[in-house]
Amino acid sequence: MERILLDTDPGVDDAQAILLASAHPNAKIEAIFTVGGNVGLEHTTRNALSIVEAIGQDIPVYEGSGSALVVFPAEDAAWVHGNDGLGDADIRPEAKQIESEFASAALVRMLNAEPNEFTLVAIGPLTNIALALKIDPSLPTKVKRFVVMGGAVTAHGNTSNVAAEFNIYADPEAAFNVFEAWAEAGNLIELVDWEATMRFGVPFSLVEQWRKIGSPRSDFFNRVSNRSFDWASEAEGRTKMFAADPLALAVAVDPGCVTHAETRYVMVETAGMFARGQTIVDWNSQLGKTPNTSIVLEVDAQRYYDLFEAGLK
């Protein structure tokens, strides 16, 4: 059983990822921590509450940081996700409330209460994780697995700083601290980067089949995804849905879907006109540093699609 602590900035694909993970028979989302990212914290927290209500599971939601550690405001992704983060579908929670405890404090408490029991999954900026490390620097030794959606390991990014991926670029200082902390602990981050997302996009022909499933989950999927589908197919001319966060959750709940990964030392650049937020990989082990990252390069696409579809039924 994968007991998941999910740090997220919902976000259309965050919602899709929660649908996927919450339906897996051998996984359980035990807490959700919100962070500002795709849209502002007010929206991401409200969206997390709405998603939890939509899936009908009693998952506590803890609100975290609304800004980066050093430089803010960062650019957001409302132009993809809608101003409200869920495709401007005007979805609001009916009764679900946030917990009183701050996200980073709750994360530290849970990991110390049951060390090495939880899989931590971060699919937004890494601000909450970096703040948790300030509370407890030994945190990496208490996490069973740490799966991160972020980075662009050969600099094919998706931000105005073209070599950088959104989640890392939103708070490079936080990402730098997190990657260094895992390196110092001798533990590995399982990295699902933006380039893997592009390689394993879901064909829109398959997405159209999913949209006709007719379940409450698929109806929710349609409501939050319609705007981004239109944007991707019309404005971008894509033939696939790039679903970064669902891919990361597929790796988290079913590690067997990874068919090829390479272990390397990864660092995050925090300076430079064109390099800020870039994930730099020591591909040839030239620095002599202990690897801190298992970079997911290939997955079983059909297995991933099956996991995604199961979350919509």
pLDDT at 77: 77
pLDDT in tens, 26-44: 999 999 999 999 999 999 9
pLDDT at 72: 67
pLDDT in tens, 240-269: 999 999 999 999 999 999 999 999 999 999
| Count of structural domains, the chain | 1
pLDDT category at 80 given cuts 50, 70, 90 is confident
- Average pLDDT rounded to a whole number, residues 5-14: 96
Mean pLDDT of the chain: 95
Q: pTM of whole model > 0.85?
A: yes
Burial class (CB in 10 A: 0-12, 13-18, 19+), 204: middle
β-strand 258-264 against 293-299: which pairing, if any? antiparallel
pLDDT at 272: 86
Residue 9 has pLDDT above 90, yes or no: yes
pLDDT in tens, 137-153: 999 999 999 999 999 99
- Average pLDDT rounded to a whole number, residues 223-227: 89
CATH number at residue 57: 3.90.245.10
Euclidean distance between CA atoms 232 and 238, whole angstroms: 6
User: DSSP per residue over 248-296, as a string?
Assistant: HHHHHH-GGGEEEEEEE-EEE---STTTTT-EEE-TT--S-PPP-EEEE
- Average pLDDT rounded to a whole number, residues 85-106: 93
- Which residue matches tokens 């900035």? 9
pLDDT at 235: 62
pLDDT at 81: 81
pLDDT category at 88 given cuts 50, 70, 90 is confident
pLDDT at 89: 84
Domain assignment of residue 229, given as a range: 2-310
